[in-house]
Amino acid sequence: MMNNGFSYHGGRLAEACERYGGQAADWMDLSTGINPRGWQPPTALEVDWRALPDPLAISQLERAAAGYFGCDPALCTAVPGSETGFRQIARALNLPGLHQPLSYGTYRRAFHHAQAIPDLSALPRRATVLVIGNPNNPDGSVSSHAELLALLDYQERHGGWLIVDEAFADCDPGWSIANSVAVGRRLIVLRSFGKFFGLAGLRLGFTIAPPEVLCGLRAGLGDWPVHTAALAFGTAAYDDPGWIAQTRKSLVRHAAALDAVLLRHGLPVTGDCPLFRLVTTLDAARLFGRLAQRQILTRPFVEYADLLRIGLPPDDAGLARLDAVLADG
> How far apart are the C-alpha atoms of 266 and 19, rounded to whole Å?
27
Same domain for 119 and 144, yes or no, is: yes
Evaluate if residue 84 carries a pLDDT over 90. yes
Q: Which domain holds residue 291?
A: 4-33+242-327
User: Does residue 7 have a pLDDT over 70?
Assistant: no
Question: With 80 as the cut, is the pLDDT of residue 9 above it?
Answer: no
42 within some domain: no
Read off the pLDDT band of 1 (50, 70, 90): very low
Please name every residue paired with 97 in a beta bridge, in sequence order, or none if there are none: 114, 129
Separation of alpha carbons 110 and 256, rounded Å: 34
Q: What is the pTM of this model?
A: 0.95
In terms of domains, do 177 and 252 share one?
A: no
What pLDDT, on a 0 to 100 scale, did the predictor assign at position 12?
Answer: 83
pLDDT tens for 201-224 read 999 999 999 999 999 999 999 999
The total number of structural domains in the chain stands at 2
Q: What is the pLDDT of residues 149-177, one digit of tens each?
A: 999 999 999 999 999 999 999 999 999 99
> CA angle at residue 56 from 51 to 62, to 5 degrees?
110
- What percent of the chain stands above pLDDT 90? 93
Strand 296-297 with 299-300, pairing: unpaired
Domain-located, residue 39: no
Q: Is residue 14 part of a domain?
A: yes
Is 270:280 a contact under the CB 8 Å cutoff? yes
pLDDT of residue 48: 92
Mean pLDDT of 215-241: 96
**297 located within any domain:** yes
Same domain, yes or no: 134 and 217: yes
- Cross-sheet strand order for the sheet of 129-133: 76-79, 205-208, 187-192, 161-165, 129-133, 97-99, 114-116
Q: Is 151 within a domain?
A: yes
In a domain, 76, yes or no: yes
